[in-house]
Structure 1
Amino acid sequence: MASNGVNIDGMMLFEQPFLRVPYENYRKVFRTSQKHIEKELAALHTAANDLVVRSKAGEADSEETLKALDGMMKRVEVLKRKLSELQSASGNPTLAVLRERLQHLSAVESIQSTNSPEFSRWADIRLDRWLVDWALRNRKERTARQIAQERGIETLVDIDLFSDIRRIEDALARQSCTEALAWCSENKAALRKVKNPLEFELRLQEFIELARARNLIEAIAYQKKHLNHWQESHATQIYQASALLAYSPQSAFGPYKRLYDPSRWQTLVQSFRLAVYNLSTLPTEPLLHLALYAGLASLKLPACYDHETKNVDCPVCNGGLNELAKEVPFSHHVNSTIVCRLTGRIMDADNWPMAFPVHGHVYSKEALEDMAARNDGMVTCPKTGERCDFSELRKVFVS
């Protein structure tokens, strides 16, 4: 915990994906620019060497030399224009986004206390970001854009990324792999680095669709071109898929029938989204859920799921959070805390627990005193109906 009362380290750990997305986008622009430069420089170097060799051999006259130099200059101009367009279209905007997000995160370091108005404003922006993230992950892009625009946080959220995800997922839902394969081509090096098989799964599905349509000649040609070089890592799947050339969807059985199952398209949608999240280091759960999990994990107890012992003041016991809390483990308390089931208040030395004489059910002194004051000194156990005078209650000592 930092001296100013703000847990900077914990917050920065949670905010890693916030910077990772624009960083990866800018790195992609840099790699594309680097490829253009290397390609054109290699061509220029080859042309220059060829010109030198021909000049030394006396095979090139002045007119040919000028023509070759003019061609080299045009290549340099084309390269310059490409790099300028790439930087203007993607590089500069991405760099501006990265800079603004860094400024947003650095602002919290100067905040003195979590109780200060500055921290409240910063936390409100963070909550708006989480709400936009939740909306985008649940395909509510219009809502996400409206929140981002009204709150002025367009550069702090990843609307463009999720817009691309939705576009490609919609194409997969229409049983088209074209857009997803184009994405794989753009991110080929990154996918290979993490050994993600998405491209193979997409190619395999296209082969399956050719077999389903009984375009056998095209399917064989497609297998040779796009699947055979995956033999080393996916030989079993390729051999199994090859059998589809002999089985139509109507005659297929066992594993071959499963390959024809249309539900594979939904699996591809999920695989694609997980691949995007992996490359962008985004969590698979909405950030809002992760933040709620952290709080719910400190409150969740077995009693929260007991209909007879629910606490009216416990957020886990009531409402939609009860369902969300099922995803987190029960909290572990080093020192036990006893809570009155009538008032929801902690029972301690100032509000000690008191038990009914017969059945022994325990409630807080404050709750029972209030009940006795309304009923001429008599108290009633709400669970068993046991009735007695307040003086008959026993004080409970917890060891």
Structure 2
Amino acid sequence: MDSLSNGDSAAVAAAETVAATAVSIMPQSRIRLADSLKLENQLLKLPFEHFKKSIRANRRIAEKEIGAVIDSVIDAAQQDMSKEEAVDHLTSLVSRLQGLKRKLEEGSRTENLQAQRCRARLEHLEAAQTENVSEWNSTREKRFLVDYMLRMSYYDTAAKLAESSNIQDLVDIDVFQEAKKIIDALQNTEVAPALAWCAENKSRLKKSKSKLEFQLRLQEFIELVRADNNLQAITYAQKYLAPWGATHMKELQRVMATLAFKSNTECAAYKVFFEPKQWDYLVEQFKQEFCRLYGMTLEPLLNIYLQAGLSALKTPFCYEEDCTKEDPLSQEGFRKLASPLPFSKQHHSKLVCYITKELMDTENPPLVLPNGYVYSTKALEEMARKNNGKVTCPRTGLVCKYSELVKAFIS
């Protein structure tokens, strides 16, 4: 049990171990893929956190029930019971223990499910070392799409994509469905499910200095004031809001003033407490706390990778009229997506061969055709070898001898 207390570091270490192993055995052309595995902390952490949660829940149930049974046996031993009373008492204890057994069996199934998911995700990351990288990337892209759909509340579509792609163990549909119940309740102006979630995760939320429970309590107080239940609101504040006074006195003073201003006030400082957008704020705050609790990114993974890719490609040249059509940012749609992103921080230009898509450098220098187009030596040598010393420009169709090509020098 002690080894499970360092969940965050264990999940990160596992991801980095897989990435380091991949780097050590993979060729240079695939090192970038190995580096990207270091970003997969969320993939491993979430089922691992659920695994720990299941273990803690089963342990609490066992300790509570066994402790109660032992206390009951001790009390019974100190009483002068008849034979029939003793039999009835023992029968009730047996029934209680049988109930505990059923609960532990159910808990064990949950633990096995989470362990299976951890294993499946480790195997998925290790599969990046295999030769079929395109298939692995395809699975990864589907994971990102499912993650995006779940965050955008397209639960049915996400479930169908996960099922059709056989990646149920690599995505977290059940986790997001748990969050959906709380989000739906908040959108229906109900705080009870969210408060129950806060109570269930109280120690971890306290460690992260979360204000979610406090905000939920404030909203529940405001609803009592809105309904003109002032006495009940005061009682509620004494019981649930007063303990927060040491750290949130200013917020408490402002919200308590609503007892005097009422829900129909025109004073902007207090009118805001009664506006419907307060519930939208609670929904967003819950989403953020939910993501932090399970080590998930606040933004969908699809957005993060898309923004990173667009930023890496974005240069001032992309917005010029003569930008090559092969540049994704030559398209208006990509330009709009990239407009708020920073430019790529590349201090030196790179020449990439149109034919092989490989970098042209001193090892593979560029050659200039008579029509001015430039291609790599490697590509043109291969073309000349197959065509009796002649090369053909793939963009204009010009045919010339390899001896007519001129070497270009990169300064």
- For the aligned pair, the TM-score class normalised by the smaller chain equals 0.7 to 0.9
2:24 is aligned to: 2
1:320 Cα offset (Å): 2.7
Hey, what's the Cα distance between the residues in 2 that align with 1:167 and 1:74? Answer: 33
2:302 equivalent in structure 1 = 288
> Relative to 1, partners in 2 of residues 1:294 and 1:326: Cα closer, same or farther, differing over 3 Å?
same
1:84 is matched with: 105
Contact 2:117 2:170 in 1 (8 A): yes
Work out whether residues 21 and 280 of structure 1, in 8 Å CA contact, stay in contact via their aligned partners in 2.
yes
Indicate the percent of aligned positions where both proteins have the same amino acid.
35
Q: Tell me how far apart the structure 2 counterparts of residues 128 and 60 of structure 1 sit (CA, whole Å).
A: 68
* 193-202 or 166-175, which deviates more: 166-175
CA separation in 2, counterparts of 1:72 and 1:350?
85
Give 1:391's aligned residue. none
Q: Which amino acid aligns with 2:101?
A: K
Partner in structure 1 of residue 232 of structure 2 = 218
Map of 1:323 onto structure 2: 336
Q: Are 2:46 and 1:21 equivalent residues in the alignment?
A: yes
Q: Deviation of residue 205 (structure 1)?
A: 0.7
Task: Look up the match of 2:114.
Answer: 94
Alpha-carbon offset, residue 91 of structure 1: 2.8
Question: Cα gap change, 1:204/1:309 in structure 2, threshold over 3 Å: closer, same or farther?
Answer: farther
Tell me how far 1:36 sits from its aligned partner. Answer: 1.0
| Corresponding position of 1:314 | 327
Q: Is the 8 A contact 1:173 1:266 kept in 2?
A: yes
Give 1:271 deviation, angstroms: 0.5
TM-score (norm 1): 0.76
Report whether the alignment pairs 1:266 with 2:280. yes
* C-alpha distance in structure 1 between counterparts of 2:373 and 2:128, whole Å: 42
Aligned partner of 1:60: which letter?
D
1:355-381 deviation digits (Å, cap 9, x = unpaired): xxxxxxxxx9449xx9xx9xxxxxxxx
Query: 2 CA distance for matches of 1:286 and 1:265?
Result: 22
1:138 counterpart = 2:138: no
Q: 1:4 to 1:398 in 2, by over 3 A?
A: closer
Counterpart mapping for 1:184-223 below 5 A: 184-223=198-237
Amino acid at match of 2:304: L
Q: Distance in 2 between matches of 1:82 and 1:24?
A: 20
3-state DSSP of counterpart to 1:167 = helix
**Deviation digits for residues 221-241 of structure 1 (CA, Å, limit 9, x no counterpart):** 221222111122222111211
Contact 2:366 2:409 in 1 (8 A): no
Show the counterpart of 2:66.
41
Q: CA deviation at 1:69?
A: 4.6
Answer whether contact 1:351 1:365 (CA < 8 A) is retained. Answer: no
* CA–CA distance in structure 2, aligned partners of residues 311 and 166 of structure 1: 45
**SS of corresponding position for 2:233:** helix
Q: Per-residue deviation at 1:96? A: 2.4
Which secondary structure does the structure 2 equivalent of 1:222 belong to? Answer: helix
Taking the aligned partners of 1:96 and 1:24, their CA distance within structure 2 comes to 13
Once the two structures are overlaid, the 10-residue window that deviates more, 211-220 or 178-187, is 178-187
Which runs of structure 2 are paired with 1:63-74 in the superposition (5 Å)? 63=83, 69-74=90-95
Equivalent residue letter for 2:263: P
Q: Deviations over 1:174-229 (max 9, x none)?
A: 22212222222222222122111111111111111111121112211221222111
Q: CA deviation at 1:50?
A: 4.0
Between the aligned partners of 1:284 and 1:321, the Cα distance in structure 2 is 23
Deviation at 1:67, TM superposition (A): 5.5
Letter aligned with residue 100 of structure 1: A
- CA–CA distance in 2 between the matches of 1:299 and 1:141? 32
Residue 350 of structure 1, CA deviation: 5.0
In terms of fraction of residues, the more helix-rich structure is: 2
Change in 2 beyond 3 A, CA 1:166/1:62? closer
Give the partner amino acid of 2:124: H
Range that drifts further, 125-134 or 3-12: 3-12
Measured in 2, the distance between the counterparts of 1:302 and 1:232 equals 53
Deviation string 1:239-263 (CA, Å, 9 cap, x unpaired) is: 2111111111222513212222221
Aligned equivalents of 1:3 and 1:154: distance in 2?
29
Alpha-carbon spacing, 1:83–1:252, altered in 2? closer, same or farther (3 Å): farther
Instruction: Say if 1:309 and 1:271 are closer, same or farther in 2 by CA, change over 3 A.
Output: farther
Q: Report the Cα offset of residue 139 of structure 1.
A: 1.9
Counterpart for residue 60 of structure 1: 80
Structure 1, unpaired ranges of 5+: 340-345, 353-363, 374-395
Work out which of the two has the higher radius of gyration on C-alpha atoms and give 1 or 2.
1
The answer to whether the Cα contact below 8 Å between 1:212 and 1:249 also exists between their aligned partners in 2 is yes
**Superposition deviation, residue 156 in structure 1:** 1.5
RMSD between superposed Cα atoms in Å: 3.3
Shifted more, 235-244 versus 166-175: the winner is 166-175
Q: Structure 1 pair 163/65, CA: closer, same or farther in 2 (3 Å)?
A: closer
SS, match of residue 249 in structure 1: coil
The number of aligned residues is 348
Would you say the 8 A contact 2:312–2:344 is kept in 1?
yes
Q: CA deviation at 1:351?
A: 7.0
CA distance in 2, matches of 1:107, 1:398: 39
What are the superposed Cα offsets for residues 119-147 of structure 1, whole Å, 9 maximum, x if unpaired? 21111111111111122222222221221
Structure 1 distance, partners of 2:298, 2:206, is 21
Residue identity in the other structure for 1:301: T
Quickly say closer, same or farther: Cα 1:309–1:204, change in 2 above 3 A.
farther
Code of the aligned partner of 1:167: K
Report Cα offsets for 1:283-335 as digits up to 9, x if no partner. 1122122222332232211333x454544322123243323324543212242
TM-score normalised by length of structure 2: 0.74
Distance in 2, matches of 1:327 and 1:137, equals 22
